């Protein structure tokens, strides 16, 4: 007998394993899909048309009873795990108390508490304030709006390979026209795309890449007209691009020296995903504004702009807000997410996932020359696939290989997402509940899929 107290293993209502019992998609999913085709427009596509009935931890259960290990987490939303108990209880409790008042009419504590937590957990110990909204794109829109108001300047700079959303302004901010913008113009003006650091493809050091970006900012826009630079510390849809060391810090220094608001879009990289509350911390950044969304409320729609109090206060009363922004149920869930991250030491879980995944992927890279790059931090890891024989030369993107791996894994009960400007990046974006065993299993499925290509 020992006296050591150990943390109890989490209890899941769905066994944490993959289990395929029908063809994929199964008959019930196919039936639902037929109904959907009649009433949901083509523009709303689904990567994998299996219809989900339940979800828990790292596992999805479809309407046919198939179980999928989820390496997408609804694109980085269910970071604390699907239907995490504390989140469910907080939201359910809030549903009984008050569902809606509209914070800009009659406020409530949950909104204030989320703003306090954001002030505590976003980088930097300066005075901060937050506005809560409904989606990532809305957070980006508000961040830009506030930066323009504060600086009195018009221009917005974004990095190549960025993704910021599907509203009119954010469509103009994305790198990829197809599918996000093609045919949907005219777009918002005064948005400038500047080169990013992409170590695998540009081979530049951080200072070299920063000098190139800053030259664009100065020559193409001019610092005196620039309101803000919006940067994802680790680009999400762009393919989990981790910039070269010193790159982002140099950009932030340039922004500070030139009165430009530095906005970190942490919508995909934030909320404990990378083993820090915000990925900015890995790069020594203290952004003027930080954008949160996705993982902030465990699956409920909530997003935030958090920033220096003096910048946030530049908007006039009534200039910020919206009917559902900071909804009490979503806000109560967000409070539970912050508490769960602390209580379950989820920052350490993200680090564990990197330790379990990255070396295994690097081993695969030794074996298969189509794996050009293995990169990422914490539970935000990716492999970039190139055409055979091009890894040392042109690094020709290989989206076909990614699509075939994803299709093969889905048939076996593992859900992966692609990413990248050329669609040639396979990303691992699981909830932090995913076990080492499920990770090892997923890597062996990828190994077999690549061998079969
Ligand atoms: C970095 C980043 N910014 C903004 C967005 C847009 O968020 P939403 O889809 O909630 O509007 C996303 C969504 O994928 C994102 O990854």
Distance 264 CA to ligand 1 centre (A): 12
Q: Do residues 292 and 267 touch, judged by C-beta distance below 8 A? A: yes
DSSP 8-state assignment for residue 224: G
**Cis ω before 186 (30° cut-off from 0):** yes
Instruction: Work out the average pLDDT over 184-198.
Output: 98
pTM of the model: 0.97
Distance 427 CA to ligand 1 centre (A): 16
pLDDT at site 11: 86
CA-closest residue to ligand 1 atom 16: 268
CA-closest residue to ligand 1 atom 4: 164
Q: Do residues 80 and 431 touch, judged by C-beta distance below 8 A? A: yes
Distance 106 CA to ligand 1 centre (A): 29
DSSP 266-323: -TTTTTTTTSSSSGGGGGT---SEEEE-GGGGBTB--EEEEEEHHHHTTSPTTSS--S
Distance 129 CA to ligand 1 centre (A): 21
Summarised one tens digit per residue, pLDDT across range 14-53 is: 999 999 999 999 999 999 999 999 999 999 999 999 999 9
Confidence of residue 10 (pLDDT cuts 50, 70, 90): confident
Distance 267 CA to ligand 1 centre (A): 6
Lowest mean pLDDT among 2-6, 12-16, 345-349, 384-388: 2-6
Summarised one tens digit per residue, pLDDT across range 163-172 is: 999 999 999 9
pLDDT of 5 > 80? The answer is no
Specify burial of residue 211 (Cβ count, 10 A radius: 0-12, 13-18, 19+). middle
Shortest-distance atom of ligand 1 to CA 165: 6
Instruction: Work out the average pLDDT over 292-302.
Output: 98
pLDDT at site 96: 98
Pocket test for ligand 1, best of 73, 133, 163, 380 (most atoms within 8 A of CB): 163
Q: What angle do CA 220, 222, 224 make, to 5 degrees?
A: 160
Mean per-residue pLDDT of the chain: 97
DSSP 8-state assignment for residue 225: G
Distance 23 CA to ligand 1 centre (A): 32
pLDDT at site 6: 57
pLDDT at site 1: 42
Pocket test for ligand 1, best of 236, 380, 425 (most atoms within 8 A of CB): 236
Which of 246, 291, 279 minimizes the C-alpha distance to 379?
279
Distance 15 CA to ligand 1 centre (A): 30
Shortest-distance atom of ligand 1 to CA 75: 14
Shortest-distance atom of ligand 1 to CA 162: 1
Distance 137 CA to ligand 1 centre (A): 6
Shortest-distance atom of ligand 1 to CA 235: 1
Q: Do residues 71 and 430 touch, judged by C-beta distance below 8 A? A: yes
DSSP 8-state assignment for residue 118: H
pLDDT at site 8: 62
**Cis ω before 179 (30° cut-off from 0):** yes
pLDDT of 7 > 70? The answer is no
Summarised one tens digit per residue, pLDDT across range 408-420 is: 999 999 999 999 9
CA-closest residue to ligand 1 atom 3: 164
CA-closest residue to ligand 1 atom 10: 136
The pocket around ligand 1, CB under 6 angstroms, is made up of 75, 135-137, 140, 163-165, 232, 236-237, 265, 267-268, 293
Distance 291 CA to ligand 1 centre (A): 10
Residues in the chain: 453
DSSP 8-state assignment for residue 19: B
Distance 164 CA to ligand 1 centre (A): 5
Confidence of residue 2 (pLDDT cuts 50, 70, 90): very low
103 to 151, 231, 392: CA distances (angstroms): 27, 29, 56
């Amino acid at each position: 007998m020992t006296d050591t107290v150990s943390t109890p293993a989490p209890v899941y209502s769905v066994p944490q394993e993959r289990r395929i019992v029908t063809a994929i998609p199964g008959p019930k999913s196919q039936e639902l899909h037929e109904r959907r085709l009649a009433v949901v427009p083509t523009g709303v596509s689904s990567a994998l048309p299996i219809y989900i009935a339940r979800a828990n931890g790292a596992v999805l259960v479809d309407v046919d009873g198939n179980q999928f290990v989820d390496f997408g987490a609804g694109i980085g939303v269910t970071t604390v795990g699907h239907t995490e108990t504390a989140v469910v209880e907080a939201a359910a409790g809030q549903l009984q108390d008050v569902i809606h008042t509209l914070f800009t009419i009659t406020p409530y504590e949950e909104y204030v508490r989320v703003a306090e937590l954001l002030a505590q957990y976003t980088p930097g110990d300066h005075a901060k304030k937050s506005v809560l909204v409904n989606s990532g794109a809305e957070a980006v829109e508000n961040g830009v709006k506030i930066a323009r108001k504060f600086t009195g300047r018009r221009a917005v700079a974004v990095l190549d390979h960025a993704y910021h959303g599907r509203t009119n302004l954010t469509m103009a901010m994305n790198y990829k026209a197809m599918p996000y913008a093609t045919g949907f113009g005219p777009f918002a003006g005064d948005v400038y795309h500047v080169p990013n650091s992409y170590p695998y493809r540009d081979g530049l050091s951080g200072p070299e890449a920063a000098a190139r970006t800053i030259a664009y900012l100065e020559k193409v826009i001019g610092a005196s007209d620039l309101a803000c630079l919006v940067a994802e510390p680790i680009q999400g849809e762009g393919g989990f691009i981790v910039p070269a060391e010193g790159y982002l810090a140099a950009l932030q220094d340039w922004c500070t020296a030139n009165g430009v608001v530095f906005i970190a879009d942490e919508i995909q990289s934030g909320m404990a995903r990378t083993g820090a509350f915000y990925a900015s911390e890995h790069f020594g950044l203290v952004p003027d504004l930080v954008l949160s969304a996705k993982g902030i409320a465990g699956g409920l729609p909530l997003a935030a702009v958090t920033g220096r109090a003096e910048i946030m206060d530049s908007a006039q009363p009534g200039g910020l807000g919206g009917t559902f922004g900071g909804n009490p149920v979503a806000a109560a869930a967000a409070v539970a997410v912050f508490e769960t991250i602390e209580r379950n030491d989820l920052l350490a879980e993200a680090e564990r996932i990197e330790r379990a995944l990255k070396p295994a992927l690097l081993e695969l890279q030794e074996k298969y020359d189509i794996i050009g790059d293995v990169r990422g931090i914490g539970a935000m890891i990716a492999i970039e696939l190139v055409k055979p024989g091009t890894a040392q030369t042109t690094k020709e993107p290989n989206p076909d290989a990614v699509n075939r791996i994803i299709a093969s894994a889905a048939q076996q009960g593992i859900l992966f997402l692609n990413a990248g400007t050329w669609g040639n990046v396979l990303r691992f974006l699981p909830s932090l509940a995913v076990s080492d065993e499920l990770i090892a299993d997923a890597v062996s499925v990828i190994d077999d899929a690549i061998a079969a290509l």
